[in-house]
Amino acid sequence: MARPKIARKSTIVDMTAMCDVAFLLLSFFILTTKFKPDEAISVTTPNSVSSKAAPEKDVTLVTITKDGKVFISLNNDAVKQQLAEELNESAGANLNPTEVKEFVKASFYGTPLSQLKSFLALPKDKLTDANLPGIPAKDTANNEVVDWMRYIVTAHSKTGDKFNLIVKGDNMAKYPQFKNVITAFKKADQFKFQMITNPEGIPTGTDLWRKFMKGEKIEQ
Amino acid sequence: MAEMDTSGGGHKKKGPGVKKAKKASTRVDLTPMVDLGFLLITFFIFTTTMSQPTAMKLFLPKDTDNPEEQNKAKESGALTLLIGAKDAVYYYEGQLDAQASNFKTSTMNQIRSVIIDKKRSTPETDLVIIIKPSDEATYKEVVDMLDEMTINDIKRYALVDILDIESQLIKATEGSGGAQ
């Protein structure tokens, strides 16, 4: 009996296409990943069930470290420029044009107003929360955060930019520090602010969880 | 693809004494490279943490010295939570009485049941929760407590400064070993 010969097919598959896909994905992921900027101020934020993303534009961020030091940072250069002029005019900061440029470039501010000049002269690697005194917010009598908030509010109203006030506190920061910051907000007539937190799941069996399960909109 | 045209096009036939060079295949096995590619992808996916921080909102009331303008809370619907040191939470319903007999001790983990009990036993329009962090409280505890309000769907709550008598009570309770 003569059987017809079955042609033997090679089992080798051309891997080129798959290889292309793999590296395409790899390069896509690498290029789209945004690296977390190395933060000079280290803060571990608490968790909350809030799922609303924090705003990233036009942010005025007030950071409270675990030692209770207060730092302020802004990310809108136009507002920073205006703020520098505001400080020159009203607070007697006396910054010359090069210092104003440094002021706009600085990522955060963390000294009493009187030391602002020497703060701006500091090299980048010295700008850490351990090295800096922070903005004084110890008590109501000597609360420079109030002044800063007032100038920032004026600067924002002059440039016409949006004003997102955000507090980023460390887990271990004490409440009195936070209270002083809130008091400063109140004094500057800012009654609305947000607190940066890490997302966490809604505990099961709670009222919010029931609402969530029913598909109702959760207001934050 | 990963092959090249290796046939020497248009060459003359070599003489009889000349050995033909063996044609090596230029096909490369790409399987290890694919393995490596996917290994790197999985590595990057697993080591990347989605660090999109979220934010919770807080609205502050305007400070008024005029008692007419202040928000009033019904005594029956009020629950005051005092945040002490090391996760200890003290609470009382309504007004603190003179002997502080309604001053109770709890912890951060157990306070939820207290809030839920109060919510179930009070008409919704009357319910007000007053949060008073002591000087020993940390930022985390305050945020956790505010978060607890969201979790239990409390409509009215306020962050209020602690009174002297209350902080003394907390100190006394802590001193007597009432809370760990």
Task: Measure the CA–CA gap between B35 and A100, rounded to whole angstroms.
Answer: 53
| pLDDT over 70 (residue B5) | no
H helix or E strand, kind and range, residue B22:
none
Note whether B150 contacts A208, CB cutoff 8 Å: yes
| pLDDT over 70 (residue B180) | no
A66 to chain B, closest Cα gap in Å: 9
Note whether A42 contacts B: Cβ–Cβ < 8 A: no
| Residue from A14, A24, A50, A214 whose CB has the most chain B CBs within 10 Å, to mutate | A50
pLDDT value of residue B177: 57
Note whether A206 contacts B60, CB cutoff 8 Å: no
Which residues touch B50 (CB under 8 Å, ≥6 apart)? Answer: none
User: Mean pLDDT over residues B17-25, rounded?
Assistant: 75
Nearest residue, CB atoms, A25 vs list B41, B142, B143 = B41
User: Mean pLDDT over residues B154-161, rounded?
Assistant: 79
Task: Name the range with the highest mean pLDDT among A13-22, A205-214, B60-69.
Answer: A13-22
The structure tokens listed for A1 are 């009996």
User: Mean pLDDT over residues B37-46, rounded?
Assistant: 87
pLDDT value of residue A177: 82
| pLDDT over 80 (residue A17) | yes
pLDDT band at A36 (very low <50, low <70, confident <90, very high): low
pLDDT band at A115 (very low <50, low <70, confident <90, very high): confident
Note whether A162 contacts B: Cβ–Cβ < 8 A: no
Lookup result for tokens 């969530």: A212
Note whether B156 contacts A: Cβ–Cβ < 8 A: no
| pLDDT over 50 (residue B174) | yes
Summary mean pLDDT of chain B: 75
Task: Measure the CA–CA gap between A142 and B76, rounded to whole angstroms.
Answer: 39
Note whether B56 contacts A45, CB cutoff 8 Å: no
User: Mean pLDDT over residues A29-33, rounded?
Assistant: 83
pLDDT value of residue B3: 52
Note whether A194 contacts B: Cβ–Cβ < 8 A: yes
Instruction: Indicate the pairing of strand B54-59 with strand A59-64.
Output: unpaired
Apex CA A66: angle with CA A114 and CA A79, to 5°?
45
Task: Measure the CA–CA gap between B127 and B94, rounded to whole angstroms.
Answer: 10
* Cα dihedral A134→A138→A143→A144 (10° resolution): -10
What's the pLDDT tens digit per position in A169-217?
A: 888 888 888 888 888 788 777 788 888 888 777 777 777 777 777 776 6
Task: Measure the CA–CA gap between A203 and B56, rounded to whole angstroms.
Answer: 17
The answer to whether B124 and B155 are in contact (CB under 8 A) is: yes
pLDDT value of residue A40: 66
Note whether A198 contacts B45, CB cutoff 8 Å: no
ipTM (interface predicted TM): 0.72
Instruction: Indicate the pairing of strand B104-107 with strand B88-93.
Output: antiparallel
Nearest residue, CB atoms, B133 vs list A22, A175, A186 = A175
How many contacts (CB atoms, under 8 Å) link A and B? 168
User: Mean pLDDT over residues A14-35, rounded?
Assistant: 85
Instruction: Give me the sign of the Cα torsion angle B23, B26, B31, B33.
Output: positive
Nearest to A208 by CA among A195, A217, A197: A217
Q: Which amino acid is at B170?
A: I
Task: Measure the CA–CA gap between A22 and B35, rounded to whole angstroms.
Answer: 9
| pLDDT over 50 (residue B179) | no
